[in-house]
Amino acid sequence: MHDHRLQPLLHDLVSTVLAPTTALSGADGQIRPAGVQGLFHADARVLSEARLLVDGREAEPIGHAVPGPGVSRFVSLARWLGDRSPDPTVRIDRVRRITPGAMDEEITLASTAADPVACTVTLALSCDLAPIEVVKSGGAAEPLPPVVAGGTPAWHSGGTRVTVRSDAEVSGAGLRWDVTVAPGERVTLRWGASVEDPEAVVAAPPGPREWSRPEIEADDARLVRLTRQSLDDLESLRLTETAAPGDTFLGAGVPWFLTLFGRDSIWAARMLLPLGTGLAAGTLRALARRQGDKVDPHSGEAPGKIMHELRRHEFAVEGNGLRLPSAYYGTIDATPLWIALLHDAWRWGLPEAEVAALLPTLEAALGWLAEHGDADGDGFLEYIDTSGRGLANQGWKDSGDAVRFRDGARAEPPIALVEVQGYAYEAAMAGAALLEAYGRPGAERWRDHAAGLAERFRARFWVDGGYPALALDRDKRPVDALTSNIGHLLGTGILTRDEELRIAQVLKDPAMSGAFGLRTMSSSDAGFSPLSYHCGSVWTHDTAIVISGLARSGHGDLAADLARGLLSAAETFGYRLPELHAGDDRALMGQAVPYPAACRPQAWSAAAAVAIVHALVGLYPDVPEGRAALRPLPGAPLGALAVRGLRVAGEPVEVTVDGSGKAQVTGLPAGVSLAG
């Protein structure tokens, strides 16, 4: 028997989101006082129960849908009411709408019974105001006593206040309606809850979304459905800082990470660049404001470093010793990724003045690469948590057992991750290009830095088997596990064409690509488990990054196969791809198996749909140079595709790819021409 708390499972819950507010319920719409169910605002649970009963009984659920951002619909039956016949005659539709800081529901009882139907509807409510980290660790808080004021229940603690609105009779902490439904008629009941939370550090952006919503026609209808749902989810994850509401970024994911998350927010904004540069600009500025300016071992801060995550207070997960300060910098990759995002946004047409305003942040970030990111001076970026209370692993695979040798042994820090060296190379070259373009000194220094890094990488990382190691450990030994991390090197520039080919061939092996996407670890490695968080599962964003790299480096066959895997997984998950799913072989069950604690929706998983579309159409603009390349995947492996509403320098662009793979682009902005 377990004597420790377990993180609540998520895979069978329904998320209704419009950041920073989220409702998590069962598939029947009920919010029960168990696990992670509840209404959350920012990083606190503001309702821990909203359970609907009809005559003291729960109705029988028959279906649910998420028709748009912030909306869910649940359908159930009350078969003990109405006519005695095989057909149900009393139906209940529960429509939930989330707006920032509020949840509203309409509960409609419809009857086709021959006689009037009388019943009592009650809604049990409770509130515990549990912090998200307590819920995540499997803990709970005691329900707060309600205060009935103005005829409605309310709860408050500190600066947070939760107030219920309804057209019902108040019964203790709950609501009650006495209902009679005439034959062929319906009755609609209404209630809602509002949150006042002046201490929240994130809020809803005041303006419209910062990216276009393209129209897509595709032979593979799954691509259309996935993109539609993903764009809805991305819209629901928009956030801004309460202290700086002008800059929008994407919250990483529901429910644990609905906040500014350096790596996640950057990758999501990068994947969305084909739809416009506005989100990238907001993300870059939000992180630039919090760029490190001092050395602080407790928070991981260092001069020039980009932050990892932002909370209202210390994030302490009971049972594992993790205690992260409200602004935590324990990430090795957010800084080079920030540089790469600035560079890519510039190429896609981010206005010159906005780029220029971020150049001081760029120079400081480049300085971190050389001065603080390489703690032991060996020429590689590496990490170690010296506080004893932060993340032991500080790449995107940040679980404690994520960095393993092929025999399953864990690597000891400091650790230099393979993909981070690719990011660092790309960042140095990107920084050089930006410095040169804006007439600032240092371009040659960073080109030389990149060249030296590539030489050292080539000498130290490649292992027997013809692929780069996952990492170097504290003794500078190659950690020889075969992992998806090496796919992130594709397109960074650190590899030769022959090396890119070798990596593509290794990733093509069924041990890596035999699941519904790319496995995080080879099924031939001793540490492999299909339900491991980072050692055998399939992460949506990870696969999408590799698809993009394969497309850019000319390996379209594997890119297409991995895209097919994600599209098949999307069918399983109602086209709302989760953070990750199990790495079981495609033939095992014929569909993807959930990872039961995966966040959904999640920003970089939703953005992966745009990355797949972009890889298929292959539009690569360079606005500063006045040119664009068009390199779709050869042979249109997923069929014909037309995308209207991409954005280059703010202008709408259309790309079509016919069934043979021939592509055309129209609408490129003035001064940008298609390269031959």
**Residue 4's pLDDT band (cuts 50, 70, 90):** low
What's the mean pLDDT in 341-363? 98
pLDDT tens for each residue of 613-652: 999 999 999 999 999 999 999 999 999 999 999 999 999 9
- The span from the CA of 48 to the CA of 408, in Å, is 40
Please state the three-class secondary structure of 123-137 as a single string.
Answer: EEEECCCCEHHHHHC
Spatial contact of 565 and 519, defined as CB atoms under 8 Å apart: no
Residue 46 clears pLDDT 70, i.e. is over it: yes
Task: Using the predicted structure, report yes or no on whether residue 2 has a pLDDT greater than 60.
Answer: no
Question: pLDDT, tens digit, for every residue of 530-553?
Answer: 999 999 999 999 999 999 999 999
Q: What is the pLDDT of residue 149?
A: 75
List beta partners, residue 64: 74
| Sign of the dihedral defined by the CA atoms of residues 517, 522, 526, 527, in that order | negative
What confidence score (pLDDT) does residue 317 get? 78
pLDDT of residue 172: 77
CB 46 within 8 Å of CB 160: yes
- DSSP class per residue in 26-89: -TTS-B-SSTT-EEEETTEEEESEEEEEETTBPPEEEEEEEEETTEEEEEEE-TTSS-SSSS--
User: Hey, what amino acid is at 573?
Assistant: F
Tens digit of pLDDT for each residue in 57-116?
999 999 999 999 999 999 999 999 999 999 999 999 999 999 999 999 999 999 999 999
pLDDT value at residue 676: 66
CA angle 418, 472, 379 (to 5 degrees): 80
Residue 458 has pLDDT above 70, yes or no: yes
Q: Is 502 helix (H, G, I), strand (E, B) or coil?
A: helix
How deeply is 70 buried, as exposed, middle or buried, from its count of CB atoms within 10 A (0-12, 13-18, 19+)? buried
The mean predicted confidence, pLDDT, of the chain is 96
Bond prior to 20 in cis (omega within 30° of 0): yes
Lookup: tokens for 204: 């809803």
Whole-number Å distance between alpha carbons of 617 and 603:
22
Share of the chain above pLDDT 90, in %: 94
What pLDDT shows up at residue 338? Answer: 99
Q: Which helix (H) or strand (E) holds 320?
A: none
Query: What end-to-end distance do the CA atoms of the chain give, in Å?
Result: 66
Q: Tens digit of pLDDT for each residue in 192-243?
A: 999 999 999 999 999 999 999 999 999 999 999 999 999 999 999 999 999 9
How high is the pLDDT of residue 401? 96
Strands 238-241 and 244-250: antiparallel
Burial class (CB in 10 A: 0-12, 13-18, 19+), 596: middle
Query: What pLDDT digit, counting tens, does each position of 384-395 carry?
Result: 999 999 999 999
Tokens of 135: 């819920």
324, two tokens: 């992260």
Q: Give Cα 78 to chain centroid, integer Å.
A: 38
What's the DSSP call for residue 478?
E
d(CA 383, CA 379): 13
Structural contact between residues 104 and 190, judged by C-beta atoms closer than 8 angstroms: yes
Q: Which residues pair with 106 in a beta bridge?
A: 95, 190
pLDDT at residue 1 is higher than 50: no
Sheet of 147-149: strand order equals 60-68, 71-77, 90-99, 102-111, 186-196, 160-166, 152-157, 147-149
120-149 average pLDDT score: 92
Q: Which domains does the chain have, with CATH numbers?
A: 14-200 (2.70.98.40), 203-657 (1.50.10.10)
Across 213-350, the runs of DSSP E, i.e. the strands, are 215-218, 238-241, 244-250, 309-310, 315-317, 322-324, 327-328
Give the span between the Cα atoms of 437 and 562, in whole angstroms: 37
pLDDT higher than 60, residue 3? no
Give the tens place of pLDDT for each residue, 253-308.
999 999 999 999 999 999 999 999 999 999 999 999 999 999 999 999 999 999 99
Q: What is the pLDDT of residues 663-675, one digit of tens each?
A: 999 999 999 999 8
Report the percent of the chain where pLDDT is more than 70.
Answer: 99
